[in-house]
Amino acid sequence: MKELRFDNRFTRLLPADAEQGNHRRQVHQACYSRVKPALVSDASLVAYAPEVADMLGLSNAFCESDAFVDLFSGNRLLDGMDPHATCYGGHQFGNWAGQLGDGRAINLGELISENEEHWMLQLKGAGPTPYSRTADGLAVLRSSVREFLCSEAMFHLGVPTTRALSLILTGEQVMRDMFYDGRGALEPGAIVCRVAPSFIRFGSLQIFSARKDNETLQALLDHTITHDFPHLGKPDKAYYLQWFEQVCQSTAEMVVHWMRVGFVHGVMNTDNMSVLGLTIDYGPYGWLEGFDPDWTPNTTDREMRRYSFGKQPGIAGWNLARLGEAILPLIGDVGPLQEALDRYSASYRSMWQQMMANKLGLESFEAPADVTLLDALQNILTLTETDMTIFYRKLANLDATVDPDSHSDGEIMQSLLDAYYAPDELEGEVQHQIAVWLRLYIRRLQQDGRSNQQRRALMNQANPKYVLRNYLSQVAIDKAQAGDYSEIHKLYELLKHPYDEQPECESYAAKRPDWARDRAGCSMLSCSS
């Protein structure tokens, strides 16, 4: 194995917990606690991501060796690593929850890649830390499969995200009460190695602000500006606001991507929001099948629907407001923070409109006519259960050269039929409203004058053919739990090219099968992981 180089800026430059030992506690005036991963009995490799390995300078031969499993199960530490868990807080479901922290994530250190980038390596499920509160610090196979596959699928969709290097079974059994109904069961334990330039969250700053510890707050903010936002220059009061503007901007970009691909994070608590605008902490997330702004896969959020698909942009804004409050002591004036938040809303809206124009193959978004077009589109997508992913792929095949008035309602929507879960509902008023929208859309395309072929090519770059449909993960998990990892590998390969036609994998682009509609793990997930 080539020598791996580490440069642990986070632990070297930021204050450490003075207390030693791995017992649960409140940690004050410190950004992290040093803690080692728990040893595991019988680690084995389930999957790794060659692209991530390559980015880190790890060869495939190394990734397939025992040494790799030793390292990324936490059984072996290298010289240069400095394992630690970070301290953060957060608003959970709208309420301040105090100290949370890495309860089951242990950062090994910052690996330096060949082009001198810093990559924090983080083991999720590597055992208890001072932040584990009442929980065990472990993760199970089913949630680890979901994190591994989704991080990489999101990356290949072009959505900003943390990455996943490896998925390893620990050989231990972990007790989980999946439905919170007192029927706990043992499940296989697993560890994912996550990779990101940094895992600093909104809640990482909030915790110091909540404790009125402005010194540590400033140290952490200066640290992230210096190392993660070096283009802003030397940290200074004037830069805090610019930094906040950038977080607003990158958060808006991330959520626009979520809305484009139909991703529902499921737990947008402020501790699950990265200051780098990366999708982070894959828990009870889900993918829209039938388009429904009100949908969330998270059973814990079934009543409130706080984190449903359509609420994500507003919730991101709410979370940014909490981040703004957290850094207020360093800025002193609430006015410019409020202005930045207002700009978040405005820039989100214009980025969303541009994104929707891309999905529809329009040259540009033109208000006010396109506002009407999009409003009407949102409406027709909810008239009858409509598979969002299939709808946009099929829409790209529409012939925009026809005279829309010379075709009946039924004829005009012929190419979209595959997108509907209840084709027998496609009659009368429902069918008519869809056809009315399609006529409006065709006329709009005719204004642009792009050829069908040009438009289709562009649309197919904005509208994925393959996403990690909820039931597809579950099928892979069921097989993995029986010792067969082939479906994980298959999905991983498939989702590396989500925009390409892959004719041999056509069935993976099909509508959700009926058996998966109400099955746990497919459309309903709890936070238990």
Closest-CB residue for ligand AMP?
A: 103
Range in contact with ligand AMP (rule: CB under 6 A) among 8-16, 34-42, 55-63, 100-108: 100-108
**Site for Mg ion (CB under 5 A): which residue of 17, 152, 222, 281?**
281
Could you tell me which stretch among 62-70, 145-153, 264-272, 460-468 binds ligand AMP (CB under 6 A)?
Answer: 264-272
Q: Using CA atoms, how far apart are residues 292 and 4, in angstroms rounded to an integer? A: 47
CB nearer to Mg ion: pick between 39 and 135:
135
Tell me the three state secondary structure of residue 526: coil
Catalytic residue among 271, 281, 370, 387: 271
User: Under the criterion CB under 6 A, does residue 370 sit at the interface with ligand AMP?
Assistant: no
Helix 312-331 vs helix 202-210: angle between axes, to the nearest 10 degrees? Answer: 50
Q: How far is CA 343 from the centre of its chain?
A: 23
State which of positions 479-508 bind ligand AMP (CB under 6 A): none
Whether the CB-CB separation of 178 and 186 falls below 8 Å is answered with no
Taking CB under 6 A as the rule, does residue 188 contact ligand AMP? no
Closest to ligand AMP by CB, 16 vs 527, is: 527
Q: Which amino acid is at 318?
A: W
Question: Looking at 281, 301, 387, 409, which residue binds ligand AMP (CB under 6 A)?
Answer: 281
| Min CB(122)–Mg ion separation in Å | 12
Establish if 127 lies at the interface with ligand AMP (CB under 6 A).
no
DSSP 171: E
* CA–CA separation, 520 and 528 (whole Å): 12
CB contact set of 384 (below 8 Å; sequence gap of 6+): 420, 421, 422, 425, 426, 430
What minimum distance in Å lies between the beta carbon of 281 and Mg ion? Answer: 4
Q: Which is nearer to Mg ion, 139 or 467 (CB)?
A: 139
Alpha-carbon distance of 411 to 418, in angstroms, equals: 14
| Residue 391, amino acid | F
272 binds Mg ion (CB under 5 A): yes
- For the CB of residue 272, give the shortest distance to ligand AMP in the complex, in Å: 5
Q: Which residues in the 131-160 window bind ligand AMP by CB under 6 A? A: 131-132, 135-138
Binding string, 224-263, against Mg ion, x = CB under 5 A? ----------------------------------------
Q: Is 267 in the site for ligand AMP (CB under 6 A)?
A: yes
228 near ligand AMP (CB under 6 A): no
**Under the criterion CB under 5 A, does residue 274 sit at the interface with Mg ion?**
no
Q: Respond yes or no: is residue 271 known to be catalytic.
A: yes
100 or 491: CB nearest Mg ion: 100
| Residue pair 369/274 in contact by the 8 Å Cβ criterion | no
Reference 232, options 271, 275, 278; nearest CA is 275
Structure tokens at 188: 């296989």
Task: Give residues 388-407 in contact with ligand AMP (rule: CB under 6 A).
Answer: none
- The answer to whether 439 touches 412, Cβ cutoff 8 Å, is yes
Q: Which of 8, 151, 216, 272 binds ligand AMP (CB under 6 A)?
A: 272
290 near ligand AMP (CB under 6 A): no
Residues between 104 and 123 with contacts to ligand AMP, criterion CB under 6 A = 104
Task: Order across the sheet with 32-34: list the strands.
Answer: 32-34, 84-86, 105-112, 118-124, 185-196, 163-176, 44-48
Query: CA 256 to CA 348: how far, in whole Å?
Result: 7
Question: Quick check: helix, strand or coil at residue 334?
Answer: helix
# binding residues, ligand AMP (CB under 6 A)? 17
Give the Cα separation of 216 and 325 in Å (integer).
16
Helix (H, G, I), strand (E, B) or coil at 37: coil
Both structure tokens of 262: 């139909």
Return residues touching Mg ion (CB under 5 A). Answer: 272, 281
Positions annotated as catalytic residues are: 271
Return residues touching ligand AMP (CB under 6 A). Answer: 100-104, 131-132, 135-138, 267, 271-272, 281, 283, 527
